[in-house]
Structure 1
């Protein structure tokens, strides 16, 4: 058991250093990070849209909503727009597309919460989450560079925080083993 901890603590040190290194690299080059994130989101949206279309046609007819299908098709279209653009598309269009996507999704959720005749829909968390999403989407639409910066910095500092945490665990294990 102690032998395993000896090897494990060195893994913590190496991974901590790598996390901090990646965090510093992304701190000084946020555009490439935003492009990578945009590509990942585009792939996720494409897969999610395809799954939503398949789900729409497999659920029972009384539970089908045309808004759900429209939402799935819009996800596929947005993802294909992002994937067809290239490197600069991800960095320039991603924050704006995320804002439009959030606004459309929120509008569909608001309409769905009202159409589902949820008893007193104003007390429904579904309605309030959609309303908050709509407000955030409008804010992001008018501040796309701020959106990109916040996303990029959040990921960067998450890497650095994970690295510090791993090195701290290495140091605490070094005292034990």
Structure 2
């Protein structure tokens, strides 16, 4: 048990260091994350094409779909790795459009419960208008999305590291 606590202390410290590095170097952090996503997609595409072909008889899944999905995964992974900047921009636009559309949808989907409670209804409308505004800001400044994602990743690593250290120091 003592070795496990030392491991938690060391791993927690490493997570905090990674979080600080992600905060200090946001673009490099995002580039590395995208490269890992690209590698994962390529690996998943290879699995889809070759490994899942072997399972075709068991799961009764069409070979065509398995090959198509595998090729799409591989091509997407290669696109991400070879076009990191374009991938950042595409992700930024997808997120901004998602924020705008989901906020508009939420305004139109105001529930009867919201309408019966004026404060809740007003707050819901206000928050969704804020969501639309954020989406529009992100749409015209995609760099903000990259910095925010890196910041959130940094915060997560630091929090995760602190929880490991707290566990290691607990009696």
TM-score range, shorter-chain basis? 0.5 to 0.7
Structure 2 unmatched runs, 5+: 95-134
Match of 1:76 in 2: 74
Match of 2:88 in 1: 95
Match of 2:46 in 1: 50
C-alpha RMSD over aligned residues: 3.5
Q: 1:169/1:59 Cα in 2 relative to 1: closer, same or farther (>3 Å)?
A: same
Matches within 5 A, 1:114-129: none
| 1:58-93 CA-partner distances (Å, limit 9, x unpaired) | 51496317455333212111222333x3xxx42x12
SS of aligned partner of 1:63 = coil
Among 16, 23, 26, which residue is 1:20 paired with? 16
Where has structure 1 moved over 6 Å in runs of 4 or more? none
Q: 1:17/1:74 Cα in 2 relative to 1: closer, same or farther (>3 Å)?
A: same
Q: 1:25/1:171 Cα in 2 relative to 1: closer, same or farther (>3 Å)?
A: same
Q: TM-score, normalised by structure 2?
A: 0.57
**1:154 offset after TM fit, Å?**
3.0
Match of 1:148 in 2: 146
For the Cα contact (< 8 Å) 2:38–2:80, is it kept in 1?
Answer: yes
Q: 1:100/1:70 Cα in 2 relative to 1: closer, same or farther (>3 Å)?
A: farther
**1:144 offset after TM fit, Å?**
4.6
Alignment coverage as a number of residue pairs: 127
